[in-house]
Amino acid sequence: MAKVAGPLFSVEARGKLGSLCYNTWRGIHTVKTNSGPATQGTQKQIEVQDVLHELNSEWTLLTPYQRSLWDNYADKLLRPHWTGTPIRRSGFNWFVSCNYWRLKLDWPLLEEPTQFSPWYRITETSIEQAETTFQVALNGVWAYDTATWVALLWRKEETSPARNPSIKDAQYWDHFYIEEQPVEKSYDPSKYTHFWARMFHWESGIMCPAWYFKLNPYTP
């Protein structure tokens, strides 16, 4: 790292220029090469970055009128913080949020937001466990027809019952349409399998909070 008195012929400079990064460290003006991240991202991080990059490109292709619709949608639909305080998200944030899983599932993207706010609250899980498969149905209350809802499933397998993982530890696994319930899925009967289900409204792109359920090792 090189010390400079007046980087870029100025009293102070911050930011990147080509491969150089200008900053101030403990009152000293510095410039160093921008070597990039020390470690490579995980496969999961890379996949998310690819999706976000594509959605950013799709946003730039929208007309000014379409962007204004997303901005108006953001003004009307405030999503509460975990403290209960309403938080306004930008129109771009809502565009990404509503189209993220549509893109991952190879569905057409929403160029304009829907004019309603659907919801689905799971209240119980019905499970029938067999030796190599299990049947599951997610029961609850919802707004709008069940034909418009898809259950997205995340899964985490453990060999011990002691640990309680979160959805952040899990990997996206599968999805099914609510109107197809109950559905039959395969699993490893020797492990403790944790599942998180999130209801996804495919017409609007709205995602509902996660519902957790678990399968213990199968015993006849």
| Comparison of pLDDT for 92 and 21, the residue scoring more | 92
Calculate the alpha carbon distances from 77 to 68, 88, 115, 126, 137 in Å. 14, 8, 10, 33, 30
- Relative to beta strand 171-177, strand 206-215 is unpaired
Q: Cα–Cα distance between 135 and 184 in angstroms, integer?
A: 4
Q: For residue 12, count other CB atoms closer than 10 A to its CB.
A: 11
What value does the mean pLDDT of the chain take?
Answer: 84
7: pLDDT strictly greater than 60? no
Q: Cα–Cα distance between 50 and 188 in angstroms, integer?
A: 31
Over the stretch 133-166, which tens digit does the pLDDT of each residue have? 999 999 888 877 777 889 999 999 988 887 778 8
Into which CATH architecture does domain 120-215 fall?
Sandwich (2.60)
**CB burial string 201-212: b at 16+ within 10 A, e below:** bbbbbbbbebbb
Decide: pTM greater than 0.75.
Answer: no
Calculate the alpha carbon distances from 10 to 14, 26, 30, 57 in Å. 11, 18, 12, 35
75: pLDDT strictly greater than 90? no
Q: Where in the sequence of the chain do the CATH 2.60.40.10 domains occur?
A: 120-215
Q: Quick one: CA dihedral 102, 107, 112, 115, positive or negative?
A: negative
65: pLDDT strictly greater than 80? yes
